[in-house]
Structure 1
Amino acid sequence: MTSVTSPLAGRAIGLAAVPDPVFSDAMVGPGTAIDPVREPSEAVSPIDGIVVSLHPHAFVVLDSEGHGVLTHLGIDTVQLNGTGFDLLVAKGDTVTRGQAVVRWNPADVEAAGKSPVCPVVALDASADALADVVLDGEVKAGDALFGWR
C-alpha cells in the first residue's frame, strides 16, 4: 500500500468541504483536502516519485507503482498566473516524500480572493482503493493522509 502524506500543515477537511464541485464531487479522484495555515510555507511531495505535471498552483507526483497524486494549491489559483508561487523543482525531477516542491503563502491567495484550500487527490483511483482517509483534524507536513491499495 502506498502511503500518501500531507504536503503542508493545516487542518484536514475532506474533499466534500472543497469549494469547487470538481474536487468536492471527487470528479478528479478520491482523497482529502487541507485548509492550510496562513503563513509562507513550502508544499512538499506527498510520495516518492517523479514530477509528471508541474504548475505554480498544482503538481502531480507519480510513484513507481503508477499511483499519481495531485496536490492543488488553492482553488481557482490558476487565475493568479503564477503570482506568489515559486517552483522549487522541475517537471521530470525525481522527488522524495517531504521534499519541497512549491513555495507559496496561503494568506496571499486568500487576500487575492481565492480559497487557499488544497485538495490532495489520488488520480485514476476509485474511492474503495483508499484506506484510512483523514477527513478532519490538524495535520503537519508529512503526516499520513491516506493509504492507496
Structure 2
Amino acid sequence: MSIAVYAPVSGTVAALTTVPDPVFSAGIVGPGWAVDPFPGGLTVLSPCTGVVKKATPHAYIIVTPEGHNVLVHLGVDTVKLKGQGFLSLVGDGREISAGQPIAVWNTSVAQKAELSICTPVVCMGKMLPTRLSLQAEAKIEAGKPLFTID
C-alpha cells in the first residue's frame, strides 16, 4: 500500500542533495525531497494525515496511521529565528488531515537573516520506507502529491 505525501508549500521540487544543510543533503535525517518555496506569506499544509508528534515554529513531525514519521522542516537553520516569522496552527498530539493548514510562514524574516527557505520533507525514525517515489514535476502547488511511501 502506498501512502501519499503532499507538498506543504508551493515552489520548486528539489532533491535532498541540494538542500544547503549537510545533515539533510546526506540523507542522515531520512529519505525524501525538498521544496524551494515561492517567497512570501505562506500557509503551510500538512503533508499527510496523522497525529502531530512534535510541533515547533519551524518544524513538524506527523505520524501517519501506518506509523511513518514525516518531517516538514521550514527552511534551513531557521531555529535561529526563535519563532519569528512563524505562526503555528497545531500542537503536539493533534489529529490532522493531509492538506490541513499547520502554520503560517513569513519567509521574508528568514531571507532577511540570510537563511535558506528550502523546505525538506522527509521520512524519519525507526520505520523507514522501502521505497519513495517522486510524484511531482519541477514546480508544485501546496497540497499536491510530492512523493509516495511504498
Say whether the fold is shared (TM-score over 0.5). yes
Distance 1:121 1:115 in 2: 17
Aligned twin of 2:92: 91
* Identity fraction in percent: 39
Alpha-carbon offset, residue 108 of structure 1: 2.1
Aligned twin of 2:132: 130
Q: Any idea what the Cα deviations from partners look like across 1:13-50, whole Å, max 9, x if unmatched? A: 11011000100000000000011011101111000000
Please give the root-mean-square deviation of Cα atoms over the aligned residues, in Å: 1.2
Task: Structure 2: give runs of 5+ residues left out of the alignment.
Answer: none
Q: If the length of structure 2 is used for normalisation, what is the TM-score?
A: 0.93
Distance 1:78 1:36 in 2: 18
Q: How many residues align?
A: 147
Secondary structure (helix, strand or coil) at the match of 2:108 reads: helix
1:115 aligns with 2:116: yes
Task: Structure 1: give runs of 5+ residues left out of the alignment.
Answer: none
Question: For the Cα contact (< 8 Å) 2:34–2:120, is it kept in 1?
Answer: yes
Distance 1:108 1:146 in 2: 28
Distance 1:133 1:14 in 2: 13
Aligned twin of 2:39: 38
Moved over 3 A (4+): none
Aligned twin of 2:82: 81
Aligned twin of 1:56: 57
Aligned twin of 1:10: 11
Question: For the Cα contact (< 8 Å) 1:32–1:133, is it kept in 2?
Answer: no
Counterpart residue identity of residue 129, structure 1: R
Counterpart residue identity of residue 138, structure 2: G
Distance 2:109 2:82 in 1: 13
Distance 2:56 2:68 in 1: 19
Distance 1:107 1:145 in 2: 24
Distance 2:109 2:11 in 1: 16
Question: For the Cα contact (< 8 Å) 1:31–1:133, is it kept in 2?
Answer: no
Secondary structure (helix, strand or coil) at the match of 1:27 reads: coil
Q: If the length of structure 1 is used for normalisation, what is the TM-score?
A: 0.94
Secondary structure (helix, strand or coil) at the match of 2:35 reads: strand
Q: Cα gap change, 1:133/1:14 in structure 2, threshold over 3 Å: closer, same or farther?
A: farther
